[in-house]
Amino acid sequence: MLWVECRIVDALRGRRRMRATAVKLPCSFWFLLLFGAGGLVLFIHLQDLSEMVQQQAPGVKLRGTARQSREALCTQDSEGVRVSPGQDQRPAVEGLTSPIPPMQFPAFQWTRHSATPGSREQDMGSLRVTKRHRKLLKTSPVVSNNSHNSSSSSSGSPDSPEESWQWHRLSHIQEARRRLMKEVCAKYKSSISRTITPHHVSRIYVEDKYKLLYCEVPKAGCSNWKRILMVLSGLASSTHEIKHDAVHYGNHLKRLDSFDRQGITQRLETYTKVLFVREPLERLVSAFRDKFENPNTYYHPVFGKPIISKYRVNASKVALRTGSGVTFQEFMQYLLDVHRPVGMDIHWEPTSQLCSPCLLDYNFIGKFETMEEEANFLLRRTGAPHNLTFPSFKDRNPKAERTSTHLTHRYFAQLSTSERQRAYDFYYMDYLMFNYSKPFKDLY
């Protein structure tokens, strides 16, 4: 009897073990099944994705991500692109025949030439856009074609295939410059007030007939640009007949801050806003030479006297009385001093502050280094008379050597490495926003 009961107990224990095994086996099986199914779905998805990338961007390797293509596009400022008419050309910025929007063009290969001799302007094609900038890229239209009347609008178009190709090239340059300026503004100036005050537009000159707004940047061709505006407004028939004093002291041109709020807003929204810039330290040296190395009845007493008084040891009575003879080292001490003895001046104020580019969204950004070509391109686009071209003469001290890269280096060789670094830092936003390379190798 006892033996039978033991057999029954053993049988019951065996059934319980079999049931536990039966329960555990289905859990392991379903886990493996789900894991395998998930891997299969992921594999199929990756295959479809790779096929889609190959179809949308033929010729692009799979490791070239969308971010790489976008970077390549952003850095294709043909700032100096020279392509013969028989070669492949860049897609035009305006009047595009391709249905692909500008930001979606593949990373084509383009022939380039170096920057203008004597200029340290950085080639946009070699610009490395950082990861933090790349995600801020924005697109925006280039210079709008304002129609004024039948005679002027007929002039605002290319006359030959060669000129048409030049227009496409320069339009592409403008698109890249404006895109770079927008991304720099988005990164570094995102917290600025969006309210436009009369102070923000105080350096802007107005030409109503051709709907131009030009921001004056001293030592970046502003005298000749004012001559152009005077001819366009009918105040003179030729730029060569306008003297320097008539340009700067005649009060012939209207400033944007002279209008009421409605007039300012209406012109900012509908006119072509123009800005021409120059390599910052070269512009600075040009201003110093003009104002302190030549006789000047304003800058010597107003700026020279306090500069000599604060920064020159054992200054003579004559120097303290006249303010003449300020050295470049003394001038740089004044500029970099947080407690300047006299305020800032427009001739050496950074362009990024002078013209408020992050607030006003300029349609055309030209450069002093390629002034004539770009200025004449803009004049044709606005429908200006064909006989009006940008003048190249120098009316102030015409016999003096022009300020160049070489001359700028000679002046800055008088400073220490730390002083050169501080000067670069002072104009850092101009270098970044307008794509100029570092002027000295020892800068960081």
In the chain, the percentage of residues whose pLDDT exceeds 90 is: 54
Q: Of 425 and 125, which is predicted with more confidence?
A: 425
Spatial strand order of the sheet with 212-215 comes to: 254-255, 204-207, 212-215, 272-277, 364-367
Under 8 Å CB-to-CB from 238, ≥6 apart: which residues? 231
In the predicted model, is pLDDT for residue 63 greater than 60? no
Of 393, 394, 389, 369, nearest in space to 377 by CA = 389
Mean pLDDT, to the nearest integer, of 229-247? 90
In the predicted model, is pLDDT for residue 8 greater than 70? no
pLDDT digits (tens, 9 = 90+) for 171-215: 999 999 999 999 999 998 877 777 899 999 999 999 999 999 999
**Mean pLDDT over each residue of the chain, to the nearest integer:** 76
Q: What is the three-state SS of 224-251?
A: HHHHHHHHHCCCCCCHHHCCHHHHHHCC
pLDDT value at residue 122: 46
Burial of 28 per CB tally in 10 Å (0-12, 13-18, 19+)? exposed
- Cα separation of 295 and 9, whole Å? 121
In the predicted model, is pLDDT for residue 47 greater than 80? no
Residue with token string 């790349």? 134
Q: Of 48 and 400, which is predicted with more confidence?
A: 400
pLDDT value at residue 169: 93
- Cα separation of 423 and 331, whole Å? 12
Q: What is the three-state SS of 133-183?
A: HHCCCCCCCCCCCCCCCHHHHHHCCCCCHHHHHHHHHHHHHHHHHHHHHHH
Mean pLDDT, to the nearest integer, of 123-137? 42
pTM of the prediction? 0.67
pLDDT band at 39 (very low <50, low <70, confident <90, very high): confident
Mean pLDDT, to the nearest integer, of 114-127? 43
